[in-house]
Amino acid sequence: MNTPASPKQRLIVIGNGMVGHHLVEQLVENDATERYAITVFGEERHLAYDRVHLSEYFRGRDAESLALVTADYYAEHGIELRLHEPVKAIDRDRGEVVTESGNYPYDRLVLATGSFPFVPPISGNDRPGCLVYRTLDDLDAIREAAESASTGVVVGGGLLGLEAANALRELNLDTAVVEFAPRLMPMQVDSEGGELLREKIEALGVQVHTDRATQRIEDGVDAAHRMVFQDGKVLEADLIVFSAGIRPRDELARDCALEIGERGGVVIDDRCLTSDPAILAIGEVALWNNSIFGLVAPGYQMAKVAAATLLASFDQRQGASFRGADMSTKLKLLGVDVGAIGDAHGNQTPGAKMFRYLDQIKQEYRKLVVSADSKRLVGAMLVGDNGVYDTLLQYYSNGLDLPENPASLILPSSEGVPTLGPDALPETATICSCHNVSKGDVCATLDAGAMDLATVKGETKASTGCGGCSALLKSVVDHELEARGVEVDHSLCEHFAHTRQGLYDIVRVEGIKTFGELIEKHGNVDTHHPGSSSAPKLGCDICKPAVASILASCFNEPITDAAHIPLQDTNDTFMANMQKNGTYSVVPRIAGGEITPEKLVVLGQVAQKYGLYTKVTGGQRIDLFGARLEDLPDIWGELIAAGFETGHAYGKSLRTVKSCVGSTWCRYGVDDSVGMAIRLEHRYKGLRAPHKIKFGVSGCTRECAEAQSKDIGVIATENGWNLYVCGNGGMRPRHAELFATDLDDAALIRTIDRVLMFYIRTADRLQRTSVWRENLEGGLDYLKAVVLEDSLRIGEELERQMQTVIDNYQCEWANALSDPEKLKRFRSFVNDSRPDPDIIFTSERGQLRPA
């Protein structure tokens, strides 16, 4: 006789956000549907979706592409999903939850209600056009309001506030951020990092107000709203978005008398149980050890623990325990890298030692916090460059011994700096904190038959949360595959299954002229949501600048065109190098260093008129420093009227052609080095390449122009020109190599055409000519065979490609000045035409410099 099966217990999950859905996934993976009849209530009308990438909703993503799963998933596993049905109350005595549609009994209940955006209690915060940034419906409301607005303000300068500011920028609103604290992102960065973050964000045209408390919001004069601050200053905007933090959605728990923390949140123990053993809480509504965790990774860990707790009563397993979570984060906010690891402020570690590195030219700030004995990394902070984040995180997460000089971990790369490759990581090293995936888990997946990165992601879910571990995951997978004798895919990034060289060939052969067309035809589907073929392909910080360089190298269309400007970095966006105090440099081209007295006078007049610091450079140009963003168009208008053009000092392109005075004046000169320098500079100006390029032309072997330290060096001899290639100065100087001798003018130019175009065609992204040359199989002899002997039969093609670039050249500043739409970017503040009052100068040696 068969024993009747035990009836299933009734499990209700309140909340269908990322954490609530992850709990469902954990239950399904552990066959909990055989023991529980599961019902999920969602307050929103949408399926669980990816809030981490919510801002992409304004870049073409829709609810379907952001969804974490399809509706069929719940039905396939026998789970009842009730969307757009908020729970009104919990009756603990009767074991029921109450909605407008009726009462639903439960045996076990999980609260995954998340949080709501905090709106400061100020007068006028409920005016029409005062919105919040949290859900897809909120974003729909913001988009609708933005249609009739030109300016927007975000209240809150934390992580969510800067995400909201980015969303307003993508809606083409002039945007400002107001933060109560003295700096942006006060929980993640210190004063130095906050100041640098402010500079970088203001350089993007976003106005930043810190240390400002809004007193009230009232009718505006020039806009819909006027914000009045505690100091009496005002700021007007058509749209105001509150994103000043979150508060736990604990009202259901309060009403049914569950234990609540003093400042909110449902109190849970290590097994995610509340004060009622039948009820669990996970995610942002849960308070563990007096802490609320506002990141997705801790929520996922809670979901895993809660699933184990729910199943423990069936098979007497011990279950899992929640022991807190690492709140380390790697972010890109408005295109600015920000990273925080562990005790980044160093105030939780007795005797902590700190190392700081600040490069105000490159705008990078790194801070290292180590234990009192200097053996362990306890925290780190990064602003402007997250390149060392993964390495630092592994030192922190796995308690690895620090190198003898810990500061070397955050100093610029140089010989002897220790690196932490995948082989140095222990099996227990955490690769993905969102899904708690270790290096051992990745290796086990490969041992089970996975042969590529996509399969590893699908099996382990690594890098499908916030995506911050994607670079580290790829390096581990590549290393482990190679160790197993598997050929590794060296794709440019997850969005393109091609190398840079492969993409160059595709662009050239198919005549593709925009990033959108390239990624549509040859890009991968969105890797955050495998299997979603409708997901837009937006690119990343690896492929976008690489493709921008390829397009410019092939067709030389203005980088300021609407189709190309989203691919550029700050310097290329404003066609000027941003300096340490938020001002910009103006560097007109002075070909070969030759300049007329009339043009010298104009430079002096412009520098005097706009109060610019003036310096003659090592590349025989005149730099004008201290230009305010809003003054750049006027400055360049005067310079172009005088016959100058952009010097491309901001681009990965030809910078300068340095020359001596040559045979025209020098008694040792054997040829006209100035004339050749000018000819070469005008020929290759505007040529975009994987890295910046510099030339030098010397009129004799005395080498006054230092041509042999340049990418292209030309030295006059009695019989013509000697050509040197692939040298550079900088941090790792490299002497150029003699490539050809006794060339006449035509042969010299033809040879340079071929060398440069072959470099552009085959080099990797951000690869200098010297590194490219070192990586060529066959070395210099192979390069000579290709260029001088035409061994690949591509010489004429390389020349034609170079001529196309030359024929399409136009001064980028002249192009921008002729287009009113392009000039709209050159503003320091929203609703205020005055210059930035925070830019302060002092006098030194008769000129201005940053205070």
Whether residues 709 and 763 fall in one domain = yes
Give CA–CA dist 758/796, Å, rounded: 11
In a domain, 671, yes or no: yes
Local structure of 683: helix, strand or coil: helix
For the segment 827-845, the average pLDDT, to the nearest whole number, is 64
pLDDT band of 525, cuts 50, 70, 90: low
Give, in degrees to the nearest 5, the angle at Cα 510 between 504 and 511: 80
Statement: residue 164 has pLDDT above 70: yes
Residues 363-422 pLDDT 10s: 889 999 999 999 999 999 999 888 888 889 888 888 888 988 898 888 875 443 445 667
Each residue's pLDDT tens digit, 116-128 = 999 999 999 999 9
Residue linked to tokens 């922190």: 396
Question: Mean pLDDT score of the chain, rounded to an integer?
Answer: 87
Instruction: Please check whether residue 98 is in contact with residue 88, taking contact to mean a CB–CB distance below 8 angstroms.
Output: yes
Does residue 433 lie in a domain region?
no
Token pair recorded at residue 468: 């911050």
Same domain? For 123 and 230 the reply is yes
Q: What is the pLDDT of residue 417?
A: 42
- 721 touches 743 (CB < 8 A): yes
Task: Label residue 6 by pLDDT band (50, 70, 90).
Answer: low
Residues 688 and 797 in one domain: yes
Q: Domain for residue 264, yes or no?
A: yes
Residue whose entry in the numeric block shows the structure tokens 């890797």: 527
Distance CA 258, CA 560 (A): 58
Per-residue pLDDT at 578 exceeds 80: no
* pLDDT exceeds cutoff 80 at 523: yes
Verify that 20 and 111 share a domain, yes or no: yes
* Among the listed residues 806, 807, 520, the one whose alpha carbon sits nearest the alpha carbon of residue 685: 806
What's the rounded mean pLDDT across residues 52-64? Answer: 78
Q: CATH number, domain at 766? A: 3.30.413.10
Which residue range(s) make up the domain with 506?
500-567
pLDDT score, position 542: 77
Q: Which helix H or strand E contains 812, and what residues bound it?
A: helix 812-817
Which residue in this structure is represented by tokens 């382990």? 460
pTM for this predicted structure: 0.57
Average pLDDT over residues 126-151: 93
Q: Note the pLDDT of residue 2.
A: 46
Question: Are 295 and 230 contained in the same domain?
Answer: no
Of the pLDDT bands very low, low, confident and very high (cuts 50, 70, 90), residue 835 is: low
Residue 847 lies in a domain: no
Boundary residue ending a domain (543, 567, 591): 567
In the predicted structure, residue 572 carries a pLDDT above the cut 50: yes
pLDDT at position 582: 74
What pLDDT score does 532 carry? Answer: 37
Q: Measured between alpha carbons, how far is residue 587 from residues 205, 416, 602, 661 in Å?
A: 21, 36, 13, 22
Residue 355 lies in a domain: no
Is pLDDT above 60 for 537?
Answer: no
Facing residues of 723 across strands?
A: 714, 740
Report the pLDDT value the prediction gives residue 534, as an integer from 0 to 100. Answer: 36
CA 472 – CA 317 distance, rounded (Å): 34
Question: What's the pLDDT score for residue 438?
Answer: 85
Query: Considering the domain boundaries, does residue 356 fall inside one?
Result: no
- Which one of 519, 539, 567 terminates a domain? 567
Same domain, 89 and 124: no
Q: What is the pLDDT of residues 631-659, one digit of tens each?
A: 899 999 999 999 999 999 888 999 999 99
Higher pLDDT among residues 19 and 524, named by residue:
19
- Say whether both 101 and 230 belong to one domain: no
Q: Is 606 exposed, middle or buried (0-12, 13-18, 19+ CB in 10 A)?
A: buried
Contact partners, residue 752, CB within 8 Å, separation at least 6: 680, 684, 712, 723
Domain end position, chosen among 315, 331, 362: 315
The answer on 801 and 702 residing in a single domain is yes
Residues 704 and 562 in one domain: no
Q: How many domains does the chain have?
A: 4
pLDDT number for residue 545: 84
The rounded distance, in Å, linking the Cα atoms of 803 and 556 is 11
User: What's the one-letter identity of residue 767?
Assistant: Q
Strands 239-242 and 130-132, sheet pairing: parallel
Q: What is the mean pLDDT of residues 543-555?
A: 88
Angle at which helix 18-29 crosses helix 296-315, to 10 degrees, equals 30
Q: Which amino acid is at 675?
A: G
User: What is the pLDDT confidence band of residue 536, given thresholds at 50, 70 and 90?
Assistant: very low
C-beta of residue 619 within 8 angstroms of C-beta of residue 656: yes
Given pLDDT bands bounded at 50, 70 and 90, which one contains residue 574? Answer: confident
Instruction: Give the 3-state secondary structure of residue 654.
Output: strand
Listed residue (322, 317, 315) closest to 300, CA to CA: 322
**Would you say 321 and 38 are in contact if contact means Cβ atoms under 8 Å apart?**
no
Query: Which pLDDT value is given to residue 530?
Result: 39
Instruction: Pull the structure tokens for residue 766.
Output: 């951000």
CATH number of the domain that residue 187 is part of: 3.50.50.60
Q: Between these two residues, 851 and 28, which has the higher pLDDT value?
A: 28
Distance from C-alpha of 498 to C-alpha of 755, rounded to nearest angstrom:
23
Closest listed residue to residue 477, CA positions, set 499, 455, 492: 455
Tell me how far apart the alpha carbons of residues 432 and 452 are, in angstroms, rounded to a whole number. 17
pLDDT of residue 676: 95
- pLDDT number for residue 331: 78
Question: Using an 8 Å Cβ cutoff, are 739 and 780 in contact?
Answer: yes
In this structure, of 5-9, 11-15, 589-593, the range with the lowest mean pLDDT score is 5-9
Residue type at 9? Q
The predicted structure's pLDDT at residue 432: 82
Is residue 432 domain-resident?
A: no
Residues 259 and 142 in one domain: no
Contact 153, 829 (CB under 8 A): no
Q: Strand ranges (DSSP E) for 179-278? A: 207-209, 214-219, 225-229, 234-237, 239-242, 246-248, 266-268
Residue 533's pLDDT is what?
37
Strand 151-155 with 279-281, pairing: unpaired
* CA-based nearest residue to 397, from 361, 358, 433: 433
- The answer to whether 30 and 311 are in contact (CB under 8 A) is yes
Average pLDDT over residues 343-348: 88
Helix (H, G, I), strand (E, B), or coil: what is residue 196? helix
Q: Where are the alpha helices (DSSP H) in 630-700?
A: 632-641, 673-684
Residues 126 and 110 in one domain: no
pLDDT band per the 50, 70, 90 thresholds, residue 832:
low
Structure tokens given for 549: 């360089």
> What pLDDT was estimated at residue 827?
72
pLDDT at 262 over 50: yes
Q: What length is written for the chain? A: 851
Q: What pLDDT score was predicted for residue 615?
A: 85
Per-residue pLDDT at 749:
96
Judge whether 827 and 205 are in contact, CB under 8 Å.
yes
Pair 70, 20 in one domain: yes
Averaged pLDDT for residues 736-746: 94
Confidence of residue 467 (pLDDT cuts 50, 70, 90): low
Per DSSP, 689 falls in state: -
Q: Give the separation between CA 704 and CA 834, rounded to whole angstroms.
A: 46
Q: Is the pLDDT of residue 200 over 70?
A: yes
Please report, rounded to a whole number, the percentage of residues in the chain having pLDDT higher than 90.
48
* 193 domain-assigned: yes
What is the Cα–Cα distance from 728 to 707, expressed in whole angstroms? 10
Q: Which two tokens stand for residue 489?
A: 């895919």
**pLDDT of amino acid 159:** 84
Task: Give the mean pLDDT of 663-689.
Answer: 91
Task: Please give the pLDDT value at position 829.
Answer: 55
Residues 255, 260, 265: CA angle, nearest 5 degrees: 100
Q: How far is CA 552 from the centre of its chain?
A: 22
pLDDT at res. 1: 41
User: In whole angstroms, what is the distance from residue 296 CA to residue 313 CA?
Assistant: 27
